[in-house]
Structure 1
Amino acid sequence: MNDSSTWPHPFSFDPTYGYDLDSLLAVEPPAQAPHDFVEFWADLHERALEVDVRPQVGKRVHLTDNGLDVRPVSFNSLGGVRLHGWLAVPTDGGVERGLVVGHGYSGRKQPDPQLPVPRAAAIFPVARGLGVPSVLPGIPSSPDRHVLHGIESRDTYVHGGCAADVWCAATALLELVPQTGERLDYVGNSFGGGIGALALPWDARFHSAHLSLPSFGNHPLRVTLPCVGSGAAVRDRYMTNPEILEVLAYFDAANAARHLRIPVQVAPALFDPTVPPPGQFAVFNALAGPKELHPVTVGHFHEHPSAEREHEELLRARTRFLT
């Protein structure tokens, strides 16, 4: 793995934050989670499972070269919202497992061109407010505003709803393709990695997960580190309103990872200007169950010369892990 700190970059800060791999592996989750952290998430999960998701599938929009029938899908989620995304099912009907696939903070305009494992059906939900398919009145769609929506209270913060969207997407997939209950996995990147870490500990339907560049880990440390993107918006708000850490403690992916016991593969970066690596590694380090580390040199910076090669290596590692 290359020394990413030697490569030129346009940022006014060091996106390694002075950490090497050994020091990243020593980053711990916040010293203490809220005393009712588990109760808060268990209640949210219970309410999400009570939602009548009423999934609807549209006409085929694509037939992939590897035999996946791709159609638009919509479903209800917590809070009376109707979300959209895509459903991909093998045309030969040979389904042995299911995938819920998250996305980054830029949302999703289309499903991934191929699935990481064969004989799987997948749902690609677009989280509330993020991207045209799931734009909602009152929820900002830009990442730097979305990440602050409802941050004044744990009961209104948008990330709780986004975790519920994962659970309701799983319910929709299981209703539409019941065979996916044989083995249901989660795949998420960046925003989707962090939301996955928040959602997965409370839902026994999931068997394993892959989280790459997971966000929202160790907020008390994260708000002290300069960055770009949605993290910078949270940091700026913290500078004028430090009380938000009391709310963010409930939505800390590293706090949640302490309760995540299914096998998880994590691909954190050593250099990342958008999601500081110490927060990513805090999620991996806190995991309570079987875990596999697949570090990458750089995240959220495609100009790095090894980015394309490492991405291909990551896809292969993800397939091996999930298979």
Structure 2
Amino acid sequence: MAFVDMTLNELRDYLPARAEPADFDAFWAATLAAARAFPLDARFEPVASPLRTVEVEDVTFNGFGGQPVRGWLLRPANATGPLPAVVEYVGYGGGRGLPHERLVWASAGYAHLIMDTRGQGSAWQVGDTPDEGPAGNSHPGFTTRGVLDRDTYYYRRLYTDAVRALETARTHPSVDPARVLVAGGSQGGGIALAVAGLADDVAGEVAGVVADVPFMQHIRHATEITDGYPYKEIAEFCKVHRDKVERVFETISYADGVNFAARATAPALYSVALMDDICPPSTVFASFNHYAGPKEIEVYPYNGHEGGGAHQVARALEFAARI
């Protein structure tokens, strides 16, 4: 795979105009208020596990529309709180998986909530949360599910779940609510940025953000420069629905990460890979350059969508330790 985008110098200066609806803030405030009309009902059930250094709890809370969302809460065995915490969101197609698949954060001394991803979890890692929302006409996948109306768009439900997951983590007795980071890679990184941008008096500002090779950033541009999925799902939908292209991107503008990044003020660590044809570098830099808070970015010139891998995990641990 060759370099897929601009030169690094061009990327560092890339600050495209944002397609932002005039009622962006009002829309999301109303969406979160509607979700909060339902009790959070956060539940943490201890799980018998062969793990000896990590305690596991099965998490359920009410997300969008009061619908139950699953997760795991991992924390160091016999730790005394309050602990710093990480709320992690999962990449495209994956679900919360199995507890032993994500041990790094708990091993480093954090309480770690992994949110299940509604409707996903059947591509590479198992999930347990159905998507009860409307679908309408859509291309196979999730990026165009309900895309002809902002109220029915899949990512409205998913981002709402993610904010409620943050609120759930803060209710756990072992968690210091002032030291909760949000993190994820690919789709998970995009969700983390959305949550950081949606922080309000109820959810509270996050302590930090780790967004690795984030998806759902500068979305229309992405559909124009890559043939990689999942962005190609949107292009394929528009290929068929020729008369609805502008309507599609009007809806998507409510979920575009650059608009959340412009509102986020917590310290952030991004990563980008210059050979990434799934989340092209210019989409990541568009988000990073619009990010409103203190920010750092790790660049991996010869990597694709795997990004920095274990090297970036070490970098994220170092970043989190400073928060």
- The TM-score range, normalised by the shorter chain, is 0.7 to 0.9
Q: Number of matched residues?
A: 301
- Is 1:253 equivalent to 2:257 in the alignment? yes
Residues 168 and 41 (structure 1), Cα distance of their counterparts in 2 relative to 1, 3 Å cut: same
Tell me how far 1:266 sits from its aligned partner.
Answer: 0.3
Residues 29 and 188 (structure 1), Cα distance of their counterparts in 2 relative to 1, 3 Å cut: farther
What TM-score does the superposition give when structure 2 sets the normalisation length?
0.85
Partner secondary structure for residue 73 of structure 1: strand
- Amino acid of the residue matched to residue 272 of structure 1? D
Identity score, percent: 23
Tell me how far 1:68 sits from its aligned partner.
Answer: 1.5
Residues 61 and 26 (structure 1), Cα distance of their counterparts in 2 relative to 1, 3 Å cut: farther
Show the counterpart of 1:48. Answer: 35
Partner secondary structure for residue 181 of structure 1: strand
Show the counterpart of 2:313. Answer: 315
After superposition, residues 1-323 of structure 1 pair within 5 angstroms as: 5=2, 16-62=3-49, 64=51, 67-95=53-81, 96-108=83-95, 109-111=97-99, 112-115=102-105, 118-131=108-121, 132-137=127-132, 144-177=140-173, 179-203=175-199, 204-239=204-239, 240=242, 241-243=244-246, 244-297=248-301, 298-300=303-305, 310-323=308-321
Tell me how far 1:90 sits from its aligned partner.
Answer: 2.1
1:45-80 per-position Cα deviation (integer Å, ceiling 9, x unaligned):
333344312122334243545x22022211111213
Tell me how far 1:262 sits from its aligned partner.
Answer: 0.8
Gap runs ≥5 in structure 1: 6-15, 302-306
Partner secondary structure for residue 23 of structure 1: helix
Structure 2: distance between partners of 1:63 and 1:181: 29
Asked if 1 retains the 8 angstrom alpha-carbon contact of 2:134 and 2:152, the reply is: no
Aligned-residue Cα RMSD (Å) equals 2.3
Structure 2: distance between partners of 1:105 and 1:43: 26
Partner secondary structure for residue 153 of structure 1: coil
Show the counterpart of 1:8. Answer: none
Partner secondary structure for residue 28 of structure 2: helix
- Amino acid of the residue matched to residue 62 of structure 2? N
Residues 64 and 30 (structure 1), Cα distance of their counterparts in 2 relative to 1, 3 Å cut: farther
Asked if 2 retains the 8 angstrom alpha-carbon contact of 1:201 and 1:260, the reply is: yes
Gap runs ≥5 in structure 2: 122-126
What TM-score does the superposition give when structure 1 sets the normalisation length?
0.85
Structure 2: distance between partners of 1:237 and 1:46: 31
